[in-house]
Structure 1
């Protein structure tokens, strides 16, 4: 007698792949895992020490639903200094990861039947989170020649009387594409003209290799009013397991998010919050070093991929993913439901490398690999991909 909501929710492809990889490893197989977007770095020591210090100082009691005041102040300073946008403390809510921040926002904004526009390709959980919060995901086709970034015209054509929200991921997972300031301004204008909120998932904003990153809320007072900015520490500070994310929005929306969170989880772990405070206030140099290493890995991976015949890919300007077009080999496969799933299945079974099928992101002619893993594994995985492709 499970909820009928689950009838329309698709299990996570990435978790399914991770489970399969663990099973193979437990059987003694040596698997190269290029499927999970998790930094291979550890949380910086100074951040860890803040968490340890909090334990020894017994900072383990209930605190504010919106998060520790000290952490929200550090987030406020970060947004002002790095993103050129000012939020009051009561406009910032700390949650148990960016995924939780997004879910809180969807609960706060969506009524049953409200539509949320998502450009394809999209991060695997967006559409399912919307379904579970009674919304309707509207998946919009985008152009490969524009690095799959949604344009103002594409957005305008997708808006209906039921549209409540645009969900935009910048830099993008899975493509690594980054929107320019002018592209964002044109998108903001469409949203303002049509009374549509913007949910700006900026979790990868520090992992940016091109021009300076532009936060949507920084572009105007009007843009800030309709934007809910989502960010966190999982990617930038290698804090995936600590589960700390945050949202920044108008006072009305932030109050709603805080109320929802207070009833559902109270607040994130105080120890995780103090660790996040340490990361934001003490670990800027370490985070910059991580980004420098990601860039070096990207450059090596791109050079090797560029030598493989009959594939193409989006040249990533941020994050730590490469989205590869494998459509040239579609007629080489017999498959029932998904070409990219079959491609990844055979690659894992025959070459011991795990990657993610593009269907997980809404486009079946692609696969995604990560380069946040050990560079030797990344390069060996790409070499095996070339062997697999040559065999086809």
Structure 2
């Protein structure tokens, strides 16, 4: 600086080839061996990734709205931005400069992206990469579960951010991409500086808020789909000679005192762990005018089981009827928690049954 140079308050910055302000840290050439700090945009990407992992993993936070707020950009934008930063470390020409003719200057052939192109490409790359990570995980023993997906996407994002920072260091400081935070903040402040009318300010605020709401709503709908209705599955199947379970060939002819086997299954899709009670009864029942009347009943078995969310339980059950008669109802009643002292099918949470005939053993001899 000469003695005639004016001293201003912004002497810590200097404009680059694109007119954007850069700090002294950005002007350090990586080839000189000087310390170069992590760029601001990649620092933000790293912080959002770490905060998202904490919001998903910490018990006190993962049930709050903060999890949804962080996971939407984490899935739809963050991984793609880091990968695009690796592919395009150079600063791109601005929209106004892109159409200008230059005399073979480096700016005219620079391979960087404009801010709009970079943002759009970040969304597209994220939408392509995250499902690809899920596809790869599906081929591994880990499967598509929350922990493996979170670790994989975070690992890809952090690795790409580090490599992007390394690539920026390898190119001259005046060609590196950087986000002009100060320039943008001045532009936003200019709207409220008194040079614009009140109507222009109001329209600007409404437009920005509407855009943010639209993007957030669309991202939330994609990243956090509506939770399916809670339900429990109760079913009966039979085991074939080859070990395959099929919903067919149910035993309907029994002999009193002799056993035949069935496989009963329970699937928990209640979005939480549930304790069940399964009661199996043989009932002498008749159906009159869509109303079932039970004349006699014999309890064959009763057992308790606890299933985690999306867990399925199957067990082979040997049915040994002690009551004989035609068209008896073999009823499987599932209850949440403890069953009533005298359980009925109307009180059961889930119920399925078979109509069977039980012959007396004396008749068979």
* Coarse TM-score class (shorter-chain normalised): under 0.3
Which structure has the larger Rg over C-alpha atoms?
Answer: 2
Normalising to structure 1: TM-score of the pair? 0.21
Higher helix proportion, which one? 1
Normalising to structure 2: TM-score of the pair? 0.22
Higher strand proportion, which one? 2
